[in-house]
Amino acid sequence: MEAVSGWVLDVYAHPQSGVILWLLCDDGRRRSFRQEFSVAFRVRGPSPRLRELWKFLQPKGVQLASVKGKDLYDGEIGDVLEARFDAPDSLMPAFWDAQQAFPDLTYYDVDVSVAMRYWAAFNVFPFARCRLTVNAGRILTVEPLDCKWDIDPDPPPLRKLYLRPDSDPSNTKPKFLQIKFDTFDYKVPFEKPRDLLHQLNAVLNKINPDVIITQYGDTWLFDHLFKLSEQTGIPFRPNRDAFREVERRKEYIYKSYGKSHFRAKQVHLLGLFHIDEKNSGNYAKNGLMGVMELARISGLPVQEAARRSAGAGISAMQVLTVLQWNILVPYQKQKGETFKTWRQLIKLDRGGIIDAPRPGVYRHVFIIDFMMMYPSLMVLFNLSPETVGSNDPDAWPIGDTGLKVNRKQRGLVPETLEPMVEKRIAIKRRLKSLPKDHPERERYQAQADTGKDLGVVSNGRMGFANAIFGRLPAYEAIAYLGRDTVLIAKEIAERHGFTVVHMYVDSLFLTREGAYTEADIKPVMDEIEEKTKLRIDLDDIYDWMAFDGSRKNPKMPVANRFFGPNREGEFKVRGIALRRQDTCAFVAGLQRDAMELMGLEKDPARLAERVPDVIKLVRERCTELQSGNIPLEQLVITRKLSKELNEYKASSAMFRVAKQLQPAGRVIGTGRIVAYLLTRCAGGSYPWDFADDLTAGMIDVRKYKELVIRATHELLQPLGVSEEVIRGWLGGATYVLPEEWAYMGNMELPLFTSIKAPVLPGIDVTGLWPGSNIVTVDGVITLPDLTAPPGGIAEGDT
């Protein structure tokens, strides 16, 4: 008998019985152990039917028992039938048989993974530190040594191996495979498959990696390597568990927040992890640290945590809590929407508060936001699917919603979320205390971002139709309290003399004449915290914040399109081209550079003086574009198909590209990404996949210029510049301030109200640049210098 300690890497079912656990031991060895571990599903229903099911399952060698069951909503539900299996893999086939024969019964604890059951049983999690007592390779006891809510967990010394083909296989056939580990970095040609496999096997044996990070590993690389292995007879076994094949998951389409997403097929390894950079959304967003954090917190296996959304993480966390409470996990959602009147529906069926900010530029904008507002509300008010909608006479009424919440009994969701909320707040505080170049910042940031993602979806999950523990009244109660909380904060800010420029779900944009330091906003934040009992954070103070209006009508507000620099010159940007996924790198880069030129000006009243620099930059980039000096990769536009191709009615550039890709054998459908260039041939758009045939001369410069004009307009529109004026400027017109700028006089910062003196008879030179030329019917006139430079307004003038 021996004691072994280390980090838990993986747990999965043994084909015969129990589970296999992989441990990264303190001595550096990676060891696997077996452990007896049975799993069970439970069934609820009328006793005669349960007896029939008993008889049905008995010949299949299942261990059957009658046990007491507890349901989340109904509490104690009396006797349920328990079907227990020593081999976890036997559970699902038996369940399918049972459900087919007895569809009228209610099934519980069915589709809970063996890993989740294991975490719940032994209070461990992926990358948990633990001590095992082992005898002859069999685990006897498991002792957890750390907690998933530690903000400074002892990090496992993971060995990482990178495998990357030199091109996108769906576009060009790769020639080399890059193999990278620590300081080793070399390329092996695919055309020498024997060498490739021998070298790969040597690397796998020598390095024995814990994580293999690939590009196109899910969709191409592993399949290709297995094919080469078959052709050459050289074995290729990337699993640590040499007796098992790799696990394959099928591709699928899912919807999230009204958008369709495609998830490609997957290759999962046993005993180590495979992460495909091109098919792992969470890894792409938060890196390996973020994946590890999501796995630790939620219990999702690492390879799933890399690929799945935060919503799956929240569901997994709820399942863990329920398992630890010894409550049955329903196989499918059981509680639907309760009946409500039309009046109730109108009142309750709403999300967060989203204001319509007035377009323009605002000076010294404070953004304050509630930290984890929705999760905090759930914790504070005990909002959970089983607590909201209570008929208990002592239950607490939620405003005028007609809903009541039971606050006597702790809810599932608050119980699940509270430590997560506390952890994120602690990490955020730690981050604020660290210098910007601190080596630990990256890890804390990944942890904080993961917590934020979980917090963001925790509310939506409650209203999600397929969430097992979701229930609409709970969602409605949370949304109501969220709106109420933000309105309380708004009222407090206004009492302190602040103008509320914008409200967005859990954040407020505030400005006040003469206020520009943290000390100015602190009393507001203190009062909000005291009144709401929620933590509020100062996101930052911005020298100015520009809000766009609608493209067609600049006076029409747009909720989420703004940009502005903080005191360090770092921008907060939402909704403009450089944030949108369908913007090509050329346009995004140009917009970013132009925006940073504007950011050099701290005083919004002088922003107009930066316009010539912006236009100069845009002209230079357009000249580069015209002369074919922009690499084609910079011009690639990527868009996602939101539906099947035959459902499209309009023939857009994306549609035409998709149609071109189909005959070439590309699978095109909902959620798939289409990459293309705007060209003067092939119907105006050309698939990036076929770009080898393209030359710079085929690019439709006019269309890209149009995108440039729109992106520039997004930056200058808050100053009152129209697209037509930008077109004129780019077409060579002189720097004449547009007539529309006068409209700024009605705005918070009337930038040009002081430059309205007509100096030439019959010509309104409102805002004209000194020394510039204007064309009149009498010929070209050079304007004299004005006393006040354009935009250069003294503080008192505003």
Q: Which residues bind other proteins (CB under 8 A)?
A: 258, 342-343, 345-351, 353-356, 358, 463-465, 472, 475, 483, 487, 503, 553, 555-557
**CA 283/CA 561 separation, integer angstroms:** 27
Q: Considering the complex, what minimum distance in angstroms separates the CB of residue 501 from other proteins? A: 12
**CA 382/CA 541 separation, integer angstroms:** 33
Tell me the backbone φ, ψ of residue 213, rounded to 5 degrees.
Answer: -105, 120
Whether the CB-CB separation of 646 and 655 falls below 8 Å is answered with no
Identify residue 411 by its one-letter amino acid code. G
Tell me the backbone φ, ψ of residue 107, rounded to 5 degrees.
Answer: -105, 145
Query: Which C-beta is closer to other proteins: that of 345 or that of 757?
Result: 345
Q: Considering the complex, what minimum distance in angstroms separates the CB of residue 744 from other proteins? A: 16
Query: Which C-beta is closer to other proteins: that of 403 or that of 614?
Result: 403
Q: Considering the complex, what minimum distance in angstroms separates the CB of residue 353 from other proteins? A: 6
Sheet with 685-687: list strands edge to edge. Answer: 637-640, 673-678, 685-687
Query: Which C-beta is closer to other proteins: that of 354 or that of 682?
Result: 354
Half-sphere exposure (Cβ direction) of 788: Cα atoms closer than 13 Å: 21
Whether the CB-CB separation of 554 and 546 falls below 8 Å is answered with no
Q: Considering the complex, what minimum distance in angstroms separates the CB of residue 655 from other proteins? A: 25
Query: Which C-beta is closer to other proteins: that of 110 or that of 365?
Result: 365
Query: Which C-beta is closer to other proteins: that of 258 or that of 435?
Result: 258
Q: Considering the complex, what minimum distance in angstroms separates the CB of residue 550 from other proteins? A: 9
Whether the CB-CB separation of 521 and 366 falls below 8 Å is answered with yes
CA angle 91, 119, 388 (to 5 degrees): 90
Query: Which C-beta is closer to other proteins: that of 463 or that of 565?
Result: 463
Q: Considering the complex, what minimum distance in angstroms separates the CB of residue 136 from other proteins? A: 54
Q: Considering the complex, what minimum distance in angstroms separates the CB of residue 466 from other proteins? A: 12
Q: Considering the complex, what minimum distance in angstroms separates the CB of residue 747 from other proteins? A: 13
Query: Which C-beta is closer to other proteins: that of 345 or that of 759?
Result: 345
Query: Which C-beta is closer to other proteins: that of 125 or that of 509?
Result: 509
Q: Considering the complex, what minimum distance in angstroms separates the CB of residue 752 from other proteins? A: 19
> CB-based burial of residue 282 (10 Å sphere; 0-12 exposed, 13-18 middle, 19+ buried)?
buried
Place of tokens 């909503």: 73
Q: Considering the complex, what minimum distance in angstroms separates the CB of residue 557 from other proteins? A: 5
Q: Considering the complex, what minimum distance in angstroms separates the CB of residue 551 from other proteins? A: 14
Query: Which C-beta is closer to other proteins: that of 251 or that of 355?
Result: 355
CA angle 171, 174, 180 (to 5 degrees): 125
Task: Write the CB contacts of 320 (distance below 8 Å, at least 6 apart in sequence).
Answer: 116, 119, 120, 298, 299, 416
Q: Considering the complex, what minimum distance in angstroms separates the CB of residue 608 from other proteins? A: 24
Q: Considering the complex, what minimum distance in angstroms separates the CB of residue 521 from other proteins? A: 22
**CA 207/CA 161 separation, integer angstroms:** 8
122, containing H or E segment: helix 114-122
Query: Which C-beta is closer to other proteins: that of 86 or that of 355?
Result: 355
Query: Which C-beta is closer to other proteins: that of 475 or that of 544?
Result: 475
Whether the CB-CB separation of 619 and 625 falls below 8 Å is answered with no
Q: Considering the complex, what minimum distance in angstroms separates the CB of residue 719 from other proteins? A: 19
| Tokens at 423, concatenated | 């952890």
Distances (CA, A) of 508 to 483, 501, 541, 567: 12, 8, 12, 18
Helix axes 472-495, 441-463, angle to 10 degrees: 120
Whether the CB-CB separation of 402 and 130 falls below 8 Å is answered with no
Query: Which C-beta is closer to other proteins: that of 69 or that of 357?
Result: 357
Q: Considering the complex, what minimum distance in angstroms separates the CB of residue 679 from other proteins? A: 36
Q: Considering the complex, what minimum distance in angstroms separates the CB of residue 399 from other proteins? A: 11
Query: Which C-beta is closer to other proteins: that of 483 or that of 610?
Result: 483
Q: Considering the complex, what minimum distance in angstroms separates the CB of residue 556 from other proteins? A: 6
Query: Which C-beta is closer to other proteins: that of 121 or that of 356?
Result: 356
Q: Considering the complex, what minimum distance in angstroms separates the CB of residue 760 from other proteins? A: 28
Place of tokens 């390095």: 207
Length of the chain: 798
Query: Which C-beta is closer to other proteins: that of 100 or that of 553?
Result: 553
Whether the CB-CB separation of 166 and 178 falls below 8 Å is answered with yes
> CB-based burial of residue 3 (10 Å sphere; 0-12 exposed, 13-18 middle, 19+ buried)?
exposed
CA proximity to 108, closest of 74, 155, 131: 74
Long-range contacts from 453-456, C-beta under 8 angstroms, 24+ separation: 453/285, 453/286, 453/294, 453/310, 453/313, 454/294, 454/297, 454/298, 454/310, 454/313, 454/314, 454/317, 454/375, 454/420, 455/372, 455/374, 455/375, 455/417, 455/420, 455/421, 455/424, 456/310, 456/374
CA proximity to 203, closest of 247, 162, 166: 162
Query: Which C-beta is closer to other proteins: that of 209 or that of 470?
Result: 470
Whether the CB-CB separation of 785 and 771 falls below 8 Å is answered with yes
- The DSSP letter of residue 163 is E
SS (H, E, C) 729-787: HHCCCCCCCCHHHHHHHHCCCCCCCCCCCCCECCECCCCCCCCCEEEECCEEEECCCCC
Beta strands in 462-525 (DSSP E): 499-504, 507-511
Query: Which C-beta is closer to other proteins: that of 258 or that of 697?
Result: 258
Identify residue 423 by its one-letter amino acid code. K
- The DSSP letter of residue 398 is -
Query: Which C-beta is closer to other proteins: that of 18 or that of 360?
Result: 360
